[in-house]
Amino acid sequence: MAGDPLDDLYDRPGFMIRRAHQIAVSVFLAQTDDLGITTTQYGILVVLRHRPRIDQITVARLLGLDRSTTGMVIRTLEEGGLVARVVDPADKRRRSLELTQAGSDLLDRLAAPAERAVAQLLAPLDPAERPVFLALLRKLTGAFDATSRVPLAKGEGGPAPSSEAI
């Protein structure tokens, strides 16, 4: 078992991150099994709840996703009756997005399974290790928000998120 040359591969950050992603998706799907939704769809629903009448390019930027990917997933959500999409009369390039009642209801029902998924994912770490891990993960990913090929634009497209800092 010791000295396997593949251990070098297993210890690479990229390999472990791929594995962590695979596990996180799998755990989420297992916890939400009967609700038939994916992690990407869930993220879009959450954005739509907090940014009603947003367009899909802005959704993509808020999630750090590609425009094509986002458009495709949103079409799936629309076909499933979870999202309503209408051409913005003020700017006919845009399609104004909004959760339907079914989408909002589903999001409510997802809250508990999503929390269980987080708990299950972090369960292998000691309680004291969890904030350390998450802080380092936040530091690493946050450093690439502006520079990666698919940048992430937090706080965009919103109803002026409290421009007064009090």
User: Which parts of this chain interact with DNA (CB under 7 A)?
Assistant: 18, 22, 26, 38, 40-41, 55-58, 64-69, 71-76, 90-95, 149-150
118 binds a copy of itself (CB under 8 A): yes
Cα distance between residue 126 and residue 135, in whole Å: 15
CB of 123 to a copy of itself, least distance (A): 8
- Only one of the segments 76-84, 88-96, 98-106, 142-150 lies at the binding site for a copy of itself (rule: CB under 8 A); that segment is 142-150
- State which residue, 109 or 130, has the beta carbon closest to DNA: 109
67 binds a copy of itself (CB under 8 A): no
Question: Which option in a copy of itself, DNA, none does residue 111 bind, with CB closer than 5 to 8 A by kind?
Answer: none
SS (H, E, C) 80-120: CCCEEEEECCCCCCCEEEEECHHHHHHHHHHHHHHHHHHHH
Cα distance between residue 137 and residue 143, in whole Å: 10
Question: Which option in DNA, a copy of itself, none does residue 3 bind, with CB closer than 5 to 8 A by kind?
Answer: a copy of itself
6 binds a copy of itself (CB under 8 A): yes
**Residues found near a copy of itself in the complex (CB under 8 A):** 1-7, 9-28, 30, 39, 43, 46-47, 50-51, 62, 64, 114, 117-118, 121-125, 129, 132-134, 136-144, 148-150, 152, 154-155, 158, 161-162, 165
